[in-house]
Amino acid sequence: MNKPPHVYLVGAGPGDPELLTVKASRLLREADVVVYDRLVSAEILTMIPSGTAKFYVGKAAGHHHMTQDEINALLVQLARAGKTRIVRLKGGDPLIFGRGSEEARYLHEQGIPFSIVPGITSASACTTYAGIPLTHRGLARSVRMVTGHCQKNRPLDLNWNSLADPDTTLVVYMGLGHLQEIATRLQHAGLSGGTPAAIIENGTHSDQRRCLTTLAQLPEQARVQVFTTPSLIVIGRVVALAKELEWRQTSDHEQAFAEILGQSIQAEA
């Protein structure tokens, strides 16, 4: 008796293959076919057995290899073609800015069984690898995660007054292209331009790069240091702890900036 098709929406985490969950690793080994995104690392792709069919459906700003509707249709097509274990592999967590819920709804509408396997999201993993805690007593008592990307070049539709909270750590996904707007809007809403901030490029990868700066200097530092996607933006007083909590090698420039930020936070306390 043939097994019914099943789609697994799997989080691949931020890139380091050792951050894959045990379940995600097992499903990759057992999959009949893997449909994967642009942000799934090469190291994780090498874990897929050589005989497993793979479909690349990556999307980047302004360039989509496949549209979301086409991806949805592909998953259903594979299920109806007799594939019994279909892994839809997504960077980070499928349900945090990953459109996993959209794909799950479409599968439900088409009567295709599915499961969702969580992954470590970039807000947690990339900040940890950069020595930045999301919360810390006396510095941050909450975390906000927002997307800094908008469609058709429209202004970001965010509640800036709510986000400009000095007691909150703000993590911005896909915000590199709108840093000037983000920095300006937050300062106009009352958040100090001296608030510590960071850019983390290729977080958890072997070529991870980090810039420690301030909210006011974010756009300029991103331009001067030529940061590219994927990059995560972190804004909040916890960034000042990066010098003490950094457990990966840092440059002299980063260490010096971290010392300045730490002194600034102590002065405000």
In whole angstroms, give the CA distance from residue 207 to residue 226: 14
Residue keyed to tokens 């001296």? 194
Q: Facing residues of 231 across strands?
A: 201
Active site residue 157: no
Q: Given 16, 23, 54, 59, which residue is catalytic?
A: 59
Active site residue 165: no
* Cα angle, residue 68 at apex, residues 65 and 69 outer, rounded to 5°: 115
Alpha helices in the chain (DSSP H): 22-30, 42-45, 68-80, 100-109, 122-129, 160-163, 179-188, 218-224, 242-245, 252-268
Q: Given 37, 90, 93, 165, which residue is catalytic?
A: 37
Residue type, 124: S
The answer to whether 127 and 154 have CB atoms below 8 angstroms apart is no
Catalytic positions? 37, 59
